[in-house]
Amino acid sequence: MIAKLSIILSLVFIHQFGYFESKEASIENCEAITTRDDEEVCTKCKDKHFLFFHDFYCFPCDHRLYGQIGCGGNCDGSKFLEENITYCNADECKKDFLYYNGNCFNCSSYIPFCKTCNVTENLDHWNNNKTYYTFKCEECSRGNLSIPYCESCEYYDYYYGYYLSSDKTCKMCKRDVNIGHGNCTICSDDENDLLSRRNCICEPDSYLNSNNTCTFCNEGCDYCGLNEENNAVKCFSCKSGTFISENECLICPEGCRTCGFDSENQTECYNCLEGYTMQNGKCIKCPPGCVCTNNYTVNELYCLYCDYKYALDSENNCDYCANITGLEGCENCEFNSSTNKYECLSCEHKEFSGFDYDYDYWKPSF
Model pTM score: 0.36
What beta strand segments (E) does 141-220 contain? Answer: 162-164, 170-172, 174-178, 182-186, 197-202, 206-208, 214-216
- Report the pLDDT value the prediction gives residue 359, as an integer from 0 to 100: 42
Every domain of the chain and the residues it spans: 1-94, 289-366
Helix (H) / strand (E) element for 23: namely helix 23-28
13's torsion region: left (phi>0), alpha (psi -120 to 50) or beta? alpha
- Report the pLDDT value the prediction gives residue 186, as an integer from 0 to 100: 82
CA distance 205 to 192: 22
Cβ-based neighbours of 154, under 8 Å, separated by 6 or more:
109, 110, 111, 112, 162, 170
- Report the pLDDT value the prediction gives residue 151, as an integer from 0 to 100: 53
- Report the pLDDT value the prediction gives residue 88, as an integer from 0 to 100: 92
Q: Are residues 310 and 331 in contact, defined by beta-carbon separation less than 8 angstroms?
A: no
CA distance 362 to 366: 12
Which pairing describes strands 174-178 and 182-186: parallel, antiparallel, or unpaired? antiparallel
* Integer angstrom CA distances of residue 343 from 2, 312, 324: 94, 12, 10
Q: Are residues 197 and 218 in contact, defined by beta-carbon separation less than 8 angstroms?
A: no
Mean pLDDT per 10-residue segment, the chain (366 residues): 40 42 67 81 87 74 86 87 84 86 84 77 78 77 49 51 69 78 81 76 81 82 78 82 84 88 84 86 88 74 88 88 87 88 83 44 45
- Report the pLDDT value the prediction gives residue 128, as an integer from 0 to 100: 77
Report DSSP state, residue 4: H
- Report the pLDDT value the prediction gives residue 13, as an integer from 0 to 100: 42
* Integer angstrom CA distances of residue 364 from 88, 142, 352: 99, 105, 22
The CA-to-CA distance between both ends of the chain, in Å, stands at: 102
- Report the pLDDT value the prediction gives residue 192, as an integer from 0 to 100: 78
- Report the pLDDT value the prediction gives residue 5, as an integer from 0 to 100: 37
Residue type, 62: D
CA distance 261 to 244: 10
Q: What is the full DSSP assignment across 291-314?
A: EEEEETTTTEEEEEEE-TTEEE-T
